[in-house]
Amino acid sequence: MTEKLPAAATAPDPPAQHRPRSPTDLFWSFTWLALQGFGGVLAIVQREMVEKKQWLTREEFVEDWAVAQILPGPNVVNLSLMIGDRYFGLRGALMALAGMLTFPLVIVLALAAIFTGMADSPAVAGALRGMGAVAGGLIAATGLKLIAALQTNVMGRLACGVLATVTFCAIALLHVALAWVLLSVGGLACIWAYRQLGLASRRGAAP
């Protein structure tokens, strides 16, 4: 388990110009993307962090997202904490976290104070329904875009395709509890990846 792999096999750090300038930059970046995230922030995080600001590559984003997803707690909160810590340590983590939570918290409390009971009106309920349908599309599209990140996966395309299909069916169609899917399918995938990484490094060591 302590075997080190050649550094060349890992993704290089992003170029220096594509990184947050300061913890304050982190705070406002995460504030801005949290405020755009109706019905979930993840789709926005992917677009802002990977496509616009390019603080992360698509592959790094998927890797970080795997960690944020598997640890307890709100996924996007975990992700902001990890990105903040990467660039500015504890201070960066706290600033990213504060950005993610402060203004959305104020807004949601203001809405609660003002609109108690208004969600029952048909127009508001309709608007929420429409935005909910859009939110579903946003998240699905984020997943579809990230499929491209699997091309460099050490497990190969076939294994990735099978694992992804099984996971989708278990969660979306059969409604299996997330923890079971992560333990079983996830565990199997990690073992397979461990084996493939071993094979790959042996091939690399003996050309």
Partner 1 sequence: MIITLTSADWLALLTHFLSLSLLAVGGAITTAPDMHRYLVTQQHWLSDSQFTSSIALAQSAPGPNVLFIALFGWNVGMNAGGGAAAGLAAWPYAALGVLLAMIGILLPSTTLTFAAARWGHQNRELRAVRAFKQGMAPIVIALLIATGWILAANNGNAVKSWPLWLLTAVTALLVWRTRIHMLWLLGAGGLLGWFGLV
Minimum CB separation from partner 1 for residue 52, in Å? Answer: 9
Task: Write the binding mask 14 to 33 for partner 1: x where contact by CB under 8 A, - elsewhere.
Answer: --------------------
Q: How far apart are CA 94 and CA 99, in angstroms?
A: 8
Minimum CB separation from partner 1 for residue 192, in Å? Answer: 6
Instruction: Report the greatest alpha carbon distance in the chain.
Output: 70
Burial class (CB in 10 A: 0-12, 13-18, 19+), 182: middle
Residue ranges in 163-192 that form contacts with partner 1 under rule CB under 8 A: 163-168, 171-172, 178-179, 181-182, 185-186, 189-192
Q: Which of 23, 26, 27, 34 binds partner 1 (CB under 8 A)?
A: 34
- Cα→Cα distances 25→18, 33, 92, 155, 203, Å: 12, 12, 10, 37, 43
Q: Which of 18, 24, 108, 204 binds partner 1 (CB under 8 A)?
A: 108
If one asks whether residue 194 binds partner 1 (CB under 8 A), the answer comes out as yes
Q: Which of 26, 49, 68, 95 binds partner 1 (CB under 8 A)?
A: 68
Main-chain phi, psi angles of 16, to 5 degrees: -60, -30
